[in-house]
Amino acid sequence: MSLNLHLIADPCPHCGRADEVLDFNITHNLNRMAEEAGVYDVLWRPEENGVKLAVQLVKPLEAAIEMMMADPSRFQAHDAPNGWGTFEQFLPWLVKVLHACRAHPEAEVRAGR
């Protein structure tokens, strides 16, 4: 299982098609680490948590990244034993998502699980 996070720019009001700004996949093995960082709900289940636009992800992502950088061992404790989902993989992924959200604040957020 994995998360496919999409930021969609200017979706068509009729069919929903648009230019995809970001399309990143990350393993669901990071769910506990994401919960610990406070971003599981907004990334894995944005539609259930009122997240519609990329700008709404900026503050939670900033807080998670800051928290993870300040105390890596706290989050490394959630590394998947099989290596498929580690702190070293998740932190750069979050930074990429943050940069995309800042660059395209009005993009629509969609998650596939």
Tens digits of per-residue pLDDT, 14-70?
776 776 677 889 999 999 999 999 999 999 999 999 999 999 999 999 999 999 999
Burial class (CB in 10 A: 0-12, 13-18, 19+), 61: buried
Domains held by the chain: number: 1
What sign for the dihedral angle of Cα 74, 97, 61, 38?
negative
Quote the pLDDT of residue 19: 67
Give the structural domain span for 94.
2-112
The H or E element spanning position 39 is none
The pLDDT of residue 12: 72
Strand partners, 60: none
State residue 52's pLDDT score.
97
pLDDT, position 22: 79
Whose CA is closest to 51, among 108, 105, 10, 101? Answer: 108
